[in-house]
A and B are shown apart, each in its own frame.
Chain A
Amino acid sequence: MSILPQIIFVLVLAVAGYILYKRVSFLRRNIFLGKGETRNDQADQRWKTMFLVAFGQKKMFKNFIPAILHLLIYVAFVIINLEVLEFIIDGLTGSHRIFAPVLGTTYGVAMNIFEFLAIAVLVSCIAFLIRRNVMKVERFTKPELKGWPAMDANLILVIEIILMLAILTMNATDQLLAARGVEKYTLLNGLFFSSMLQPLFMGMGDGALVFIERFAWWFHIIGILAFAVYVTYSKHLHIFLAFPNTWYSNLKPKGEMKNMPEVTNEVNMMLGIATEGGTDPPAEIGRFGAKDINDLSWVNVMNAYSCTECGRCTAECPANLTGKKLSPRKIMMDVRDRAEEVGKSLDTGGPGLEDGKSLLGDYITKEEINACTTCNACVEACPVNIDPLSIILQLRRYVAMEESGTPAQWNAMFQNMETSFSPWKFSPSDRFNWADQVKNEEMK
């Protein structure tokens, strides 16, 4: 017996492992281009959020039909990956269906479940392809999805369909061979779904069947490894990042904007208030707000890598709904694109962040961020708890405090607030005038 297939298999695994390792390091580094932020409090709440939102798909179910289809693909992904374990052991040891004798009849049942899931994935992926390309759901037709993002989405669906067909083909031929008593092939008592494919192969000789069976086996395992690598380049990264992303969710009330302690120090000095500890030197002041990805927090950048470009945020955004340029999905895609650009530049010895470009200006325009009503609809809508608003607000801080580039009407509002403590131009001494009338009214 030749051990050549095993050697090839080990090589394939090693190459895939190496590429994956490189990709993961690249992504990790890019995410940590963002500033430090500690979000380790309330661990119980965090596990619970992750369990409900990522594992339990809670927020997907705001939209029932896609949620069910998505759930099928997700469950299939998790469960069929158990089969990959068997593939790997078989590949390494040269065995075939190593779990079959161990599990006995349970094995056949498990295979039937896998096949059912494979069919479910097939059907769901076809439904999703139709939804994206034929039905033209509005959120899939926005300008930011033109080109690669649309292609990426379709590619994933097609790859999944092909991988599922490979499993079914493999099982169909494998069982034909087993029925003919060919050595090494185990007869399982009836694989319901793949048996329907058997007529296609019945007329073939043993050699041809073995070839097709082996081809499907290799195709499936190499396909899965290639898919794993592909995912790291794709919006499909959410299948992994959804978990940490939800664990590091913002647990504070959505309306709360993060305080800037470096500003507090200055304000206290200006107002002559002693800061705690009295003589603390002011905290080191970097840039106010965010102009580029390194001014954002690493959680913001991880959010961007977790974004699956579903556009639920954009579909709920009041600014986008009424034709403004703002699209929270585009904000997330821009952050990711910029992180990729900087990362690639760093890897090739380029200028990295100092390439004369920045997130604000080259990717996201002021017109976009100025249109946001801070309504939190995008945050609420996101199935993986991404917070586009946090990024928008940090960009606004940069524009206001570093560039003084805020729209003129806001500047006028700032002036009113500075001089008369109200966003409108009224005299502070008139603030209590509303009471004059009530005070004279007879109480009924």
Chain B
Amino acid sequence: MSTYKVPTMAEMAASGDSPEILFWVGCAGSFDERYKAVTQAFVKILNKVGVSFAVLGSEEACTGDPARRAGNEFLFQMQAVANIQVMNGYGVKKVVTACPHCFNTIKNEYPALGGTYEVIHHSQFLQQLINAGKVVLQGGGEFKGKKITFHDSCYLGRANDVYEAPREVIKALDVELVEMKRCRTKGLCCGAGGAQMFKEPEPGNKDINIERTEEALTTGASAIAVGCPFCLTMMTDGVKNKEREQDVKVYDLAEMIAKDMGI
């Protein structure tokens, strides 16, 4: 019997090897109870398809995104410079991550600090695998024909102009993709970006994730697809708040693909 492998960069280096891609897991991917399932699903896909990858494991640290956006540039750069030292030490060229915040920071902000890599969001990577025929979807899976809506995460969409890849991935599942009124460039934030994830919102009439969840529910979709750990948390909380967790599920793209592949 063979099991799933999760090689680390350190192990690879020790055996004189280097993987094609570094899978950057991120803090949510490492620690968040719900989101760990996404990390695991993505790792299973990588195993199944035979992509040469490795993770940093305990050598990874927060990219520093929330610190920078909350204004603490020192702390951001401390994290960033340390991460860059580790990655450059391993000669990393290509990074894949499921977190749009990690994606944005490593792709756009690390170069100024000496870390230049090719950075790909997992939605783009999954799309490449599907297009290349490496991920073969059964199509008859549990999502077939279901109404699914996609929530654009700001850091993937507006921040980096990635709108189509996640939609292509969803469509490949043979589902009915329904758009919310505010989508793509006009998408509405889940309320977590800019370090909002880590504090209570300022006083207002409503929480942002509730507003967004209401919009998602109006589409009549039975599942809300996301491509971001924060969006996953915010939308899941929103669905619970509306007491719809029985009939409306929130999934990350990688989970949907893994489910369809039967892994």
Contact = CB atoms under 8 A, between A and B. Distances in A.
Interface of A: 62, 252-257, 259-260, 263-264, 266-268, 270-271, 273, 288-289, 316, 318-319, 321-326, 367, 370-377, 379-380, 393, 396-401, 406-407, 409-410, 412-414, 417-418, 421-424, 426, 428-435, 437-444
A434 B40 contact: yes
B193 A271 contact: no
Interface string B55-89: 10110111010111111111101110110010000
Interface stretch (B136-144, B200-208, B240-248): B200-208
A431 B24 CA distance: 12
A414 to B, nearest CB: 6
A393 B71 CA distance: 7
A264 B77 contact: yes
A439 B4 contact: yes
A413 B70 contact: yes
A397 B70 CA distance: 7
A401 B73 contact: yes
Interface in B143-198: 154-155, 158-161, 185-189, 191-198
Nearest to B211: A322
Nearest to A435: B6
A61 B100 CA distance: 29
The 6 closest A-B pairs by CB, nearest first: A255-B159, A400-B71, A374-B194, A323-B205, A396-B71, A323-B204
Given A374-B154, A375-B158, A422-B61, 15 more contacts: A253-B160, A255-B160, A263-B73, A393-B71, A397-B73, A413-B66, A417-B62, A417-B64, A417-B66, A418-B78, A422-B27, A422-B31, A430-B30, A438-B4, A443-B2
B160 to A, nearest CB: 5
Given A254-B158, A438-B40, A423 B69 contact: no
Contacts of B104: 253, 255-256
Interface string B12-33: 0000000000000101011100
B263 interface: yes
Contacts of B66: 413, 417, 423
B204 A319 contact: yes
A267 B71 CA distance: 16
Nearest to B80: A267
Nearest to B48: A443
B70 A414 contact: yes
A409 B155 contact: no
Interface string B98-117: 00000010011100110000
Contacts of A62: 186
20 contacts: A62-B186, A253-B161, A271-B78, A273-B85, A324-B204, A377-B154, A380-B185, A397-B71, A406-B71, A409-B200, A410-B70, A421-B61, A423-B62, A423-B66, A429-B58, A431-B30, A431-B57, A439-B5, A442-B1, A443-B263
Contacts of A431: 30-31, 57-58, 60
A376 B78 CA distance: 25
B57 A435 contact: yes
Nearest to A426: B31
A410 B204 contact: no
A443 to B, nearest CB: 5
A428 to B, nearest CB: 6
B206 A322 contact: yes
B57 A322 contact: no
Contacts of A430: 30-31
B122 interface: no
B81 A271 contact: yes
Contact of A437 (B40, B55, B201, B210): B40
Contacts of B133: none
Most chain A CB within 10 A, of B67, B81, B189, B207, is at B189
A398 B70 CA distance: 10
A57 B108 CA distance: 29
A253 B4 CA distance: 36
A416 to B, nearest CB: 9
B62 A414 contact: no
Contacts of B186: 62, 316, 377, 380
A428 B77 CA distance: 19
A413 B196 CA distance: 11
A253 B109 CA distance: 10
B155 A438 contact: no
B81 A318 contact: no
A401 B72 CA distance: 6
A254 B104 CA distance: 10
A171 B5 CA distance: 84
Contacts of A400: 70-73
Contacts of A264: 77, 81, 112-113
B110 to A, nearest CB: 10
B96 to A, nearest CB: 16
B213 interface: no
Contact of B108 (A252, A273, A399, A417): A252
Given A397-B73, A432-B58, A413 B198 contact: yes
A268 B48 CA distance: 41
Contact of B62 (A288, A370, A401, A421): A421
A418 B75 contact: yes
A255 B204 contact: no
Contacts of A271: 78, 81-82, 85
Given A399-B71, A401-B72, A443 B109 contact: no
Given A253-B104, A431-B30, A410 B199 contact: yes
A318 B208 contact: yes
Nearest to B207: A322
Contacts of B3: 438-443
Nearest to B263: A444
B154 A396 contact: no
Contacts of A414: 67, 70, 72, 75
Nearest to A381: B186
Given A318-B211, A396-B71, A409-B200, A373 B193 contact: yes
A167 B140 CA distance: 70
A119 B70 CA distance: 51
Contact of B189 (A257, A375, A421, A443): A375
